[in-house]
Amino acid sequence: MKKLNTRTIAQLAILVAMEVVLSRFLSINIWSNKIGFAFVPVAVTAMLYGPLTTGLTAAAADLIGALLFPSGPFFPGFTLTAFLGGVVYSLAFHKKQSAPRVLVAVLIREFVLSLLLNTLWISIMYSSPYWPLLVSDRAIQCIVMTPVQFTVIWLVAKALPRNIKQTA
């Protein structure tokens, strides 16, 4: 983890704020599903910073969003998933983005973390059976979001100015 300076802290704070707004206000939240673009600030953080910084930033955004703008009861499992998602993104495409790396990261994040792990958290929270949740609309959400996430992250990676990548 790099030494934090004022510029880095400001950049991370802006990315956290963007994730909170995209997650809490500009996404569709239905009982067991969330569809939105809150993954974009996490992906940008992953491109600019290492795994620990990205994981902590994603976890901080989840905690801040849950505390300030709750959409249900707080459950620390979702914060763990957010942390792991940031780490996965950063391990896959920190400093080097390619289509296969982005695809692998999105697949892991969607089908391992979101589908398997978040479904487990929902099952525990609401005492719902795991398998019916898994194969229902949660699987459809992951199938729909995978190409969306891949496309958006790939476009952001190509659009992110090279000088920002080098200074972070």
List pLDDT tens digits, range 73-118: 899 999 999 999 999 999 998 878 899 999 999 999 999 999 999 9
Report pLDDT digits (tens) over 116-135: 999 999 899 989 898 888 88
The arithmetic mean of pLDDT across residues 70-75, rounded, is 86
Distances (CA, A) of 126 to 30, 72, 134, 168: 14, 11, 14, 41
Quote the pLDDT of residue 165.
53
For the question of whether the overall pTM of this predicted structure is more than 0.85, the answer is: yes
Report domain extents, the chain.
6-167
Q: Are 29 and 18 in contact (CB under 8 A)?
A: no
Query: For the chain, what is the mean pLDDT?
Result: 89
Q: What is the dihedral of CA 77, 87, 62, 109, to 10 degrees?
A: -70
Quote the pLDDT of residue 162.
63
The residue with tokens 């496309």 is 151
Quote the pLDDT of residue 2.
60
Residue 20 has pLDDT above 60, yes or no: yes
Residue 1 has pLDDT above 60, yes or no: no
**How many Å apart are CA 52 and CA 119, to the nearest integer?**
24
- Angle at CA 151, nearest 5°, toward 148 and 156? 120
Say which CATH class 6-167 falls into.
mainly alpha
**How many Å apart are CA 29 and CA 4, to the nearest integer?**
34
The arithmetic mean of pLDDT across residues 44-63, rounded, is 95
